Amino acid sequence: MAYVVLRHRDIPDLNKFDTYKNNGGLDAFKKAVTEMKPADVTDVVKNSGLRGRGGAGFPTGMKWSFIDNKNWPHYVVANADESEPGTFKDREIMESNPFQFLEGLMLASYAVGANVAYVYLRGEFWEIGAALDEKIAQLEEAGYLGDKLFGTDYSLRIHTHLGAGAYICGEETALLESLEGKRGQPRVRPPFPPSFGLYGKPTIINNVETFTNVPMILANGADWYKTMGTADSAGVKIFSLSGRVRRPGNYELPFGTTFRELIYGEKNGAGVQDSRQVKAIMPAGASSSLIVVNGDEKILDTPMDYATVRTLGADLGSASIIVLDDTVSMDWLVNKTVHFFKHESCGKCTPCREGTFWMKNITERIHDGAGTQGDVDLLLNVAKQMQGKCLCALGEFATMAVTTGIERFPQDFKKAVKA
């Protein structure tokens, strides 16, 4: 099957303007601006069933239709703050298929009437940001960005903006705060960004991968897109596969592909390192609940779409599949994830700031061999107390591996503590 998002794997040099253009690139944008009403663009995306690829899986077209048309100007922001441990797909898209991503951002901007769009990149993507600036300049030169495009009244400019090392800025309201030149701390919601976003104006924020699907949907139609994937989750997804597999990397596959095909397929993960057994899977990066596998064939045959993965007690999220083999002990794993969230907690709300701090103290004690069963119980207790009480999802995410690790792999913790 031809690639939809990772099209650079089919077409060499797709990150060059001429190559992109010669392969039908930018036709969808030109056609939209010259022949379509903005609302028609939103309708096509709505009908395609495209859901947000950043983790939440919210229907993209529906989000666009929420834009407040009584308050102007409007903004569109690309969330290129990719920071979830286990996720590395947006980076490949922006490096190798940047024009398709930018065209998607341009189509979204036209659909919601935004004349200015921003790409918020994590600061570590410094080189990608510089490369995107060049691509944006090329688009301006060729007349695809700027004032009165193709002789219409529609104008559009895109700017890049670098973050500076803060996972929390992937949360959309924290991202907006950061883009406004403040500490990246989430806002209390509602109001949501489509009514109160950047500089208090209606704003649509989507993930890089989400935008990159859009030009292909406009070019080939909503029905074409729905021929891939499942009824619940239309289209293709990039699965970032990492951990103990032979071939880690990004794999673009239709939703509904099984874990087995991703992990064991010869063109995909090609199996577990040293031919060991899969013990557990984290389907949504470090934020994920642990899916118990322990060699269970039925679990590996589960199709990966939003609804079905949920039946295993986990969310598919951004589809960052971390594979854990039987050499990994969950007390070690939980110590790793808790360290991450303690470091990245923004400090704004008490349950997350204090909860991650105390969880880290306890997991370190267990990791150092000085823990008792009482510490494990306390750790679970702290995590449970955080759940449902934090201002944004980060605090919730911090507890997922902790609670599912202790509840689903109690023997690992028993072994790790003093009798």
Partner 1 sequence: MSLEKTHPKEVKQILSKYPPEGKRSAVMPLLFLAQREQGYVTKAAMQDIAQLVGITETEVASIVGFYTLYHDEKGGRYRMQVCTDLPCALRGADEFLEKLCDHLGIKVNETTSDGVLTLETVTCLAACDRAPMFQTQGPDGIKYHENMTIDRTRDVIAGLKYAREVK
Q: Is 124 in the site for partner 1 (CB under 8 A)?
A: yes
In degrees and rounded to multiples of 5, residue 327 shows phi and psi of -90, -10
Cβ neighbourhood burial of 244 (10 Å; 0-12, 13-18, 19+)? buried
Short-list 14, 11, 210, 4, CA closest to 95: 14
Residue type, 80: A
Neighbours of 27 (CB within 10 A): 14
Q: Is 117 in the site for partner 1 (CB under 8 A)?
A: no
Please spell the DSSP secondary structure of 327-370, one letter per residue: T--HHHHHHHHHHHHHHH--SSSHHHHHHHHHHHHHHHHHHTT-
Q: Is 161 in the site for partner 1 (CB under 8 A)?
A: yes
Q: Is 196 in the site for partner 1 (CB under 8 A)?
A: no
152 or 327: CB nearest partner 1: 327
Cβ neighbourhood burial of 113 (10 Å; 0-12, 13-18, 19+)? middle
Q: Which residues within the stretch 281-300 sit at the binding site for partner 1 (CB under 8 A)? A: 286
CA distances from 52 to 58, 211, 234 (A): 5, 9, 11
Strands (DSSP E) found in 130-258: 157-162, 203-207, 236-243, 249-254
Q: Is 265 in the site for partner 1 (CB under 8 A)?
A: no
Supply the minimum distance, in Å, between the C-beta of residue 344 and partner 1.
Answer: 6
Which residue of 83, 96, 210, 363 would you call a contact of partner 1, by CB under 8 A? 83
64 or 120: CB nearest partner 1: 120
Look-up: residue for tokens 């395609």?
Answer: 48
Taking CB under 8 A as the binding criterion, the range among 62-70, 120-128, 141-149, 308-316 that sits at the site for partner 1 is 120-128
Taking CB under 8 A as the binding criterion, the range among 17-25, 121-129, 371-379, 391-399 that sits at the site for partner 1 is 121-129
Q: What is the Cα–Cα distance from 175 to 308, expressed in whole angstroms?
A: 30
Q: What is the Cα–Cα distance from 346 to 167, expressed in whole angstroms?
A: 9
Which residue of 241, 253, 299, 400 would you call a contact of partner 1, by CB under 8 A? 241
Q: Is 356 in the site for partner 1 (CB under 8 A)?
A: no
Q: Is 343 in the site for partner 1 (CB under 8 A)?
A: yes
Which residue of 57, 104, 163, 283 would you call a contact of partner 1, by CB under 8 A? 163
344 or 375: CB nearest partner 1: 344
Which residue of 78, 112, 291, 333 would you call a contact of partner 1, by CB under 8 A? 333
For partner 1, the binding residues (CB under 8 A) are 82-88, 90-91, 116, 122-127, 130, 159, 161-167, 178-184, 198-199, 240-244, 248-250, 286, 320, 322, 324, 328, 333, 336-337, 340, 343-344, 346
